[in-house]
Amino acid sequence: MSSDSTTASTAAFVEQLLARMTLEQKVGQMLQPERMAITPDEVARHHIGSVLSGGGSAPGANLPADWIAMNDAYWAASMRDEPGRVPIPLLYGVDAVHGHGNVLGATIFPHNIGLGAARDPDLIERIAQITAREVLATGVEWTFAPTLAVARHLYWGRTYESFSEDTALVASYAAPFVRGMQGDLGEDSVIACAKHWVGDGGTTDGRDQGNTVLPESELERVHMAPYLPALEAGVLTVMASFNSWNGVKCHGNRYLITEVLKERLGFDGFVVSDWDGVDYLSDDPAEALAIATNAGIDMFMVSVKWRQYLDLLLQHVRTGVVPMSRIDDAVRRILSVKHRYGLFDRPRPAERKWSQVSCLGAPEHRAVAREAVRKSLVLLQNEGEILPLSRSARILVAGKNADNRGHQCGGFTVAWQGTSGNQSVIGGTSIWEGIREVAPGAVLSEDGSAADAAAHDVAIVVIGETPYAEGMGDIRPPGLAPLGSSPAGQPAQLSPYGETLELRLLHPEDLAVIRAIEAKGIPVVAVLVSGRPLIIDTELQHTAAFVAAWLPGSEGQGVADVLFGDFPFTGVLPFSWPRIATRWPSGYGL
Ligand code: BGC
């Protein structure tokens, strides 16, 4: 939290800036277009306050130098000192939600669900600190993390972004994450963003962007509680949520954004909307923007329609639909965050401390990611104490997720929906590559066809989900797709990931490989790569040991560390694990 004197100096600085700004300049600060939709010249001309990369949106060859060059150009445009223009440095935002996942060669940490299993707040702080360094190494200043969702339904495609179904566990990670990311707001710091305000994890049937039906006391107790330590730790930004609360969209909910978050909880940073989230408030864009601005959204994340937003907002102020005091409040908040973060004193991105350091994917960063993988593994079954394995055992490695760094990283890795294969996740090790390092005699046969009882003592079969993000990961009947956001900017009907949580139906190929190997008389150790607990009662019957590995990220070696007993299993389930398929109380069956 800032001291009284820094607060006073920020306030004085912001007031004198505000007094020099025209309405156009103020409104420009409130916009955050996507990089593909805006040039540096347009940033200068329209006084744009921020630009973002949507999931998977990257400049040039997607290397740190490309990012620095891009940010440098936007920054220089925002700082152009021309008559009648007040130079204000631009803020660039990305989703560094499990490491700086958009960028090739970054260290990819386990998704939040795995970190929840680790029960280690100190680890969270170190991960956030390392992520901040890698983000700074690309000239970026702001990340849309941490996600403080308390996922209450495994059907939700964003379950893996949630540390836990348990509010207390999510809350215990909020401050360490913010501290690790924002530090002392000096040159090693990145601005954090607690998201999504509020109730994103509580929607009926786990529908992404759906409706959370709860009395206020429950909303507070379950979903708001993790924000309190984040606010206490001084988180500078909060993102509004796509979901509704009791039928009212959060993006247009003045009570939740202004009265609760800003007034009651005293949040003095700024609130950013989610990707085109304002568009869903009304079929009439002018009305939608008026509702959102008056509800208390301070900055608008817009994929492409930022010019229309600019014009409409100016018009709203001129006609009195949005009071000037609301615009001043929003801009004051945005400028205060920029000042508190020290952005006005920082050199251009190319000349900043971490831009000079090639720390992306550094060995010491990967070592922490590997530690996180080890601590996230949960042992679900171990018949006859088959685990830990001996290094000298004759091992067959099989399963579609055995040698696939893309799959083990999940969504929000290089592309919004994640990637498949080893090629686009540069550096790190697949689970197979990690096993091979420890047990050089191990053999890979993805479909298990090489299984031979005379040649193999045990098989490690790596199974589970393939990558998805947001509504594309929902489990629901087809035809019930909600309108969703997409990086292309067009709301799209999203098809669900599947219609059931039963792994044998969702991914029958996994059981087929397990059974083929079992039929040859070789005991199977299953390693499940997944963004949520799945129903695995059948697979459990056909395996000797079963390990939940969640979405471990780029350092697959952490799995071998534990399978071979160099480290013990210490992970504890962050979510209840359903044993059998059942109807959910509120909705459709499985
Ligand atoms: C997601 C946010 C994310 C934003 C920017 C949205 O679709 O809901 O969590 O920060 O995109 O990529």
- CA-nearest residue for atom 2, ligand 1, is 274
Ligand 1 site, residue 50, Cβ cutoff 6 A = no
Whether 54 maps to a domain, the answer reads no
Q: What is the pLDDT of residue 496?
A: 87
Beta strands 193-197 and 237-240 are parallel
Domain contains 494: yes
Q: 136 C-alpha to center of ligand 1: Å?
A: 20
Q: What is the pLDDT of residue 480?
A: 54
* Cα radius of gyration (the chain): 24
Residue 441 counted as domain residue: yes
Residue 110 is classified by DSSP as: P
Q: What is the mean pLDDT of the chain?
A: 94
Q: How far is the CA of 577 from the centre of ligand 1 (A)?
A: 27
Tokens representing 440? 């050089």
Q: Is 274 in the pocket of ligand 1 (CB under 6 A)?
A: yes
Going by CA atoms, what residue is nearest to atom 8 of ligand 1? 274
User: Which tens digit of pLDDT belongs to each residue from 451-473?
Assistant: 999 999 999 999 999 999 999 99
**Residue 192, domain member (yes or no):** no
**Residue whose C-alpha is closest to residue 193's, from 54, 56, 337:** 337
The single residue of 165, 470, 502, 510 carrying the catalytic annotation is 470
**Which ligand 1 atom minimizes the distance to the CA of 195?**
9
**Residue 2, pLDDT score:** 53
What is the number of domains present in the chain?
1
- Looking at residue 184, what is its pLDDT? 97
Ligand 1, atom 4, residue with closest C-alpha:
275
pTM for this entry: 0.96
Q: Domain holding 503: CATH number?
A: 3.40.50.1700
Is residue 2 situated within a structural domain? no
* 388, burial (CB in 10 Å: exposed 0-12, middle 13-18, buried 19+): middle
What pLDDT, on a 0 to 100 scale, did the predictor assign at position 479?
60
For the chain, the 3-state helix, strand and coil shares in percent, each to the nearest 5, are 40, 15, 45
Catalytic residue list contains 274 = yes
Residue that has been written with the tokens 């009662």 in this structure:
537
Residue 433 lies inside a defined structural domain of this protein: yes
- DSSP lists the bridge partners of residue 415 as 413
Q: Assess whether the C-beta atom of 101 lies below 6 angstroms from ligand 1.
A: no
Beta strand residue intervals within 260-394, DSSP E: 270-272, 300-302, 378-382
> Which residues share a beta bridge with 239?
272
* Domain assignment of residue 489, yes or no: yes
Q: Cα separation of 380 and 541, whole Å?
A: 12
Please tell me the distance from the alpha carbon of residue 150 to that of residue 531, in angstroms, as a whole number: 14
What residue ranges of the chain have pLDDT lower than 50? 1, 484-491, 584-590
Please say whether the beta carbons of 553 and 109 come within 8 A: yes
Q: Which residue has the tokens 């660039």?
A: 92
Residue 143 lies in a domain: no
- pLDDT value of position 481: 52
pLDDT, residue 5, reads 72
Please give the helix or strand (H or E) that residue 238 lies within, else none. strand 237-240
Domain that holds residue 393: 364-563
Give dist(CA 43, CA 475) in Å, integer. 40
Check if 276 has its Cβ closer than 6 Å to any atom of ligand 1: no
Residue 521 token pair: 């008389």
Q: What spacing in Å lies between the alpha carbon of 54 and ligand 1's midpoint? A: 7
